Homo-oligomer: A and B are copies of this chain.
Amino acid sequence: MDWERIEEKLDQLLAQSRHGQLRGALMMLNPVDIAGYMKKLDKEKLLLLFRILPKDVSADVFSYMDSDQRQMLVESIADAEISALIDEMFVDDAVDFLEELPANAVKRVLQNTDPRTRAIINQFLKYPENSAGSLMTIEYCEVSQDMNVRDALQSIKETGVDKETVYTLYMLDSQRHLIGSIPLHKALVVSEDTALAKLMEPGTISVNTLDDQEVVADTVRKYHLLSIPVVDGEGRMVGIITSDDIMDVIEAENTEDIQKMSGLAPSELPYFKSKLLVLAGNRLPWLMVLMFTSIVSGAIIARFESVLAINILLSASIPMLMDTGGNCGQQASTLIIRGIALGEVKFSDFFRVLWTEFRVGILIGIALSSVTFVRLLLINQATPIMSAVISASLFCTVVIAKSIGCILPLLAQRIRVDPALAASPLITTIVDACSLFIFFTIASNFIL
């Protein structure tokens, strides 16, 4: 059954107030899809549907809903109901949600939750945004050194952590220091009498509560992990982060990089959720800076006014030089920025990168300038000397653009500025000034 027919069916049941059937139908769907369906409902129907869902499903659905819809729900239902919801949610999802609420609402909601949950949530709210601490959940399975497989399985049954976070068992010592981990699958293929210590994988990879989410994502991706334990400053285990949450982090970090590379202030809000003034405000600062730096290029043109007057072909070549230079610089900077982000390129590779880009620039410069030379001679019927001047300028522009394009991101990384900022817009502006300067210098020496 395709999604449109499912939606139609749900609409029908909702319109006919067949709540029993509706509940049955919803139970067949994934919480993500239920949240998707709810997006188009008005407040009243949203509330109705939400209350029809069993409590554990509604908590799941709630964590996948839009923040404005969650806000709407919270305003409509009683505090006790919200608190029950929070008790049912994963701690990390609950914290995410509470961070969106105004401070007084958080207080009101937390008053009604179970005191243990409250204590944990309060602790979580103290971690910096986008830190490992704010991403983690505390629902994981810990075991001690003297346990065997049977004890571990029994402990899973007793604590009843009915979550996918039980797939790694973490072995802690009496001070709660993380000493190793046991993938659950290893425990399932051996006799129940086997000591867990025998199955333990030492040197478990972990992150610190204060590590940035980018570090967490890089580590999880590098080691192909399903989840990663989080330890505090003293090496005591406090939680875990699962790979499904890491995927969202990876996409968010990529979005941030891409935005910075286009001269945008990074924004986590989806396009249509952003207010007009915010959209404009995120773009203005860089535009303003770059507009002023491009005045340098204008000044170069003004200074060489007399050269321009010689032949209109010179003025007409300015866009080609500027555009090609900008594009070459952007290509080089993009490759290097991406290489840095994926850990393939480091500052210590500086000369190796520069040497590579220099040679690539020469190859591309030869290709583009020889085509241009022939074009000017045959199509524009320029003199050989005029054609040579313009093609030579193009060649130099390409080589310089490639070099600047790779140097700037590496330098940015060196001085601990995000390399993504040294991308296209900035490089285009710098390359423009350089290419015009070369152009006029060559032209005034060979034609005047």
Listed in ascending order, the chain A residues whose CB lies under 8 Å from chain B are: 28-30, 32, 153, 156-157, 160-164, 166-167, 183-186, 188-189, 202-203, 205, 220-226, 242-248, 250-251, 254-255, 257-259, 261-264, 270-272, 276-277, 279-280, 283-284, 286-288, 290-291, 294-295, 297-299, 301-302, 305, 308-309, 312-313, 315-320, 322-324, 326-328, 330-331, 333-336, 338-339, 342, 344-345, 349, 352-353, 356, 359-360, 363-364, 367-368, 371-372, 424-425, 428-429, 432, 436
* 19 A-B pairs whose Cβ atoms sit less than 8 Å apart in the complex: A166-B188, A224-B244, A226-B226, A226-B242, A226-B243, A243-B244, A262-B330, A262-B424, A264-B334, A272-B344, A279-B360, A284-B367, A291-B320, A294-B320, A297-B320, A305-B312, A305-B315, A319-B432, A326-B326
Which of A156, A316, A323, A371 has the most B CB atoms < 10 Å from its CB? Answer: A323
A221 and B202: CB pair below 8 A? Answer: no
Q: Which residues of B contact A294 (CB under 8 A)?
A: 319-320, 322-324
A160 and B183: CB pair below 8 A? Answer: no
Q: Which residues of B contact A312 (CB under 8 A)?
A: 301-302, 305
A318 and B301: CB pair below 8 A? Answer: yes
A344 and B425: CB pair below 8 A? Answer: no
Give the distance to chain B from A179, nearest Cβ to Cβ, in Å.
13
Q: Which residues of B contact A276 (CB under 8 A)?
A: 356, 359-360, 363
Chain B residue at smallest Cβ distance from A264: B331
Q: Which residues of B contact A283 (CB under 8 A)?
A: 328, 331, 360, 364
Q: Which residues of B contact A270 (CB under 8 A)?
A: 339, 342, 344
B345 and A271: CB pair below 8 A? Answer: yes
Please report the C-alpha to C-alpha distance between residue A319 and residue B291 in the assembled complex, in whole angstroms.
9
Which of A244, A283, A290, A349 has the most B CB atoms < 10 Å from its CB? Answer: A283
- Which of B221, B336, B368 contacts A271, CB < 8 Å? B336
Main DSSP-derived SS at the A contact region? helix
Please report the C-alpha to C-alpha distance between residue A270 and residue B79 in the assembled complex, in whole angstroms.
53
List the 10 closest A-B pairs by CB distance, nearest first. A297-B319, A298-B316, A262-B334, A224-B244, A294-B323, A280-B363, A302-B316, A271-B339, A270-B344, A254-B254
Give the distance to chain B from A268, nearest Cβ to Cβ, in Å.
11
Chain B residue at smallest Cβ distance from A424: B424
Give the distance to chain B from A85, nearest Cβ to Cβ, in Å.
18
A247 and B250: CB pair below 8 A? Answer: yes
